Amino acid sequence: MSRILLEIACPPHGFQRFSIKVIKRYNIPSKDIIPHLSRKLKPSKVNRLYIGRNVTEKEIKRFIVDYLSKEGIWKMVLDMKLLNEIARY
């Protein structure tokens, strides 16, 4: 599992930081990316991405950029990082 860390310019607060979980699923088609929308009010509204087995980091970043562009938020993005986490058992 990994996360995408986004920093967005926010006029009232300076900047806002939040993360999107990236979860690999084996029961969806291997090249699909399915966003899970948040119930809370967040700038991007996406709090999780379910990806197939054969999705690369480049495709994930491209999907996030396209999604934020459609929402009109991409112009406010200051930084975007993909963080890989070690699974803890």
pLDDT at 89: 44
The answer to whether the predicted template modeling score (pTM) of the entire model surpasses 0.85 is: no
C-alpha dihedral (85, 54, 46, 73), degrees to nearest 10? 100
- The DSSP element (H or E) to which 60 belongs, if any, is helix 57-71
Q: Which residue ranges make up each domain of the chain?
A: 2-84
Average pLDDT, integer, range 20-29: 89
76/67 Cα distance (integer angstroms): 13
59/76 Cα distance (integer angstroms): 21
User: What are 25-64's pLDDT values in tens digits?
Assistant: 888 888 899 988 877 766 567 888 999 989 988 999 899 8
